[in-house]
Amino acid sequence: MKLSAEEQAMLAGDSGPGVRKAMEIVVTLGRIYGARRLVSVGSVQVAGVSYRNLGEAGLEFLREWAGQGARVRVPTTLNPAGMDLHAWRELGFSETFAHRQLAVIEAYRRLGVRTTCTCTPYLVGNVPRRGEHIAWAESSAVSYANSVLGARTNREGGPGALAAAIIGRTAAYGLHLDENRRATLRVVVRCPVRTLSDFGALGYLVGKAARNRVPYFVGLEEACSESALKALGAAMAASGAVALYHVAGVTPEADRPDVLAPDHETLVIDDLRPAYAALNSDVRKIDLVWFGCPHADLEEIAEIVRLLAGRQVKSALWITTAREVREKAETEGLVTAIEAGGGRVVADMCVVVAPMQELSFRTLATPSAKGAAYVPSHAGLQVRYGTVEQCVEAAVTGVWPGCEATPHSRI
């Protein structure tokens, strides 16, 4: 790998041990993946924030790096934590967990990271330009940045992303290179895809088939809102490892004349029911209804307010979002409206990485395919997956729609 004189000096330790460690990580990753050089990055999104996943070893690693003088040199935002950093007590998280989680946030702050705690950094000012090289962790954000914004990033791991932030560079391989951004799987959609959960279901099926290939969708032009693309990409990143996709007539690189690789395969999707079947378990009573995976934008919150229509909820209802988005929602009266119905707009956190076993929930409903795919194994709850409307009704009645007449069903 060819390094500039400045990069060689950083690798030799001229800028201190913290920078040397970051260079070693980025250069090692570059060598493994056959990169020939490093590229400057415009921004970084760091994952690995919940103390539940990091543990004491992870916290110590961050503190040590900060103690070695490492500081980020490009705008760097942070993934969700394992709790709302302000309202954790009201939500029921323990003092022990909260204390350690806040220590993790403090360690990131010392490293110079903006402690945004969201998986939608593009909703809080970290919006890369088309063609800009970035180093983002968090698979749903990576997918959105590459596909919808046209920026260039691989699926970074936590330490790799932080290292890139500290040296302001990443290794030029994978999706940083033109040739790897061509579609290798043409996806022909022949069934209606109308709702957010339909987009998630489609993403779930395509992700499973695509693994880490680059899909090119045909037949979706009509229905693609930004929320729909967010749901589609998050689902493909969860059931597969899709980091970039194109939608004919919609996404920025889809009209490249050479967008389809010559040896691409074709996949036809004509039925979303297998995804709904795979993501649903047979539970009737719903303890928690979760919206905001990926973190909700203002329109999504407003939609839930509209569907609640002033009714009270019987289940717990959480909408997870970025703190900055929550503040805007508060200004617009949306938080008050949700809280008046007994729900909560929860900032900073993600249910999948939260210590949910500390709370009393056993079942969850969500319109997010990524959430539905991860919650059973990561948070230990049984899941119902359906439309935003079905989830709102579940919150109001406390049972999954259609299950009202079966009072003796399981759970």
Q: In the window 170-209, what residues touch ligand F3S (CB under 6 A)?
A: none
Q: How far is the CB of 98 from ligand F3S (least distance, A)?
A: 19
Structure tokens at 135: 């180093």
Is the CB of 231 or the CB of 337 nearer to ligand F3S? Answer: 231
Q: What is the CA radius of gyration of the chain?
A: 21
Site membership for ligand F3S, residue 80 (CB under 6 A): yes
Tell me which of 121, 371, 386, 401 binds ligand F3S, using CB under 6 A. 371
Is the CB of 345 or the CB of 352 nearer to ligand F3S? Answer: 352
Structure tokens at 34: 């056959």
Tell me which of 284, 285, 344, 370 binds ligand F3S, using CB under 6 A. 370
Site membership for ligand F3S, residue 115 (CB under 6 A): no
Is the CB of 48 or the CB of 80 nearer to ligand F3S? Answer: 80
Site membership for ligand F3S, residue 294 (CB under 6 A): yes
Distance CA 77, CA 72 (A): 10
Residues touching ligand F3S, count (CB under 6 A): 13
- How far from chain centre, in Å, is Cα 360? 25
Measuring CA to CA, how many Å separate 162 from each of 36, 81, 170, 312? 21, 16, 10, 43
Site membership for ligand F3S, residue 350 (CB under 6 A): yes
Distance CA 387, CA 198 (A): 8
| DSSP string computed for 333-392 | THHHHHHHTT-EEEESB-GGGS-GGGS---EEEES-HHHHHHHHHHH--EEEE--HHHHH
Site membership for ligand F3S, residue 352 (CB under 6 A): yes
Site membership for ligand F3S, residue 234 (CB under 6 A): yes
Choose the binding region for ligand F3S from 50-58, 270-278, 291-299, 328-336 (rule: CB under 6 A): 291-299
Q: Is the separation of the CB atoms in 175 and 146 below 8 Å?
A: yes
Is the CB of 185 or the CB of 352 nearer to ligand F3S? Answer: 352
Reduce the DSSP state of residue 57 to 3 states and report it.
helix
Distance CA 333, CA 227 (A): 21
Quick note: the x/- pattern for ligand F3S over 120-149, rule CB under 6 A, is --------------------x---------
Residues of the shown chain interacting with ligand F3S in the complex, contacts defined by CB under 6 A: 80, 119, 140, 234, 293-295, 320, 350, 352, 370-371, 374
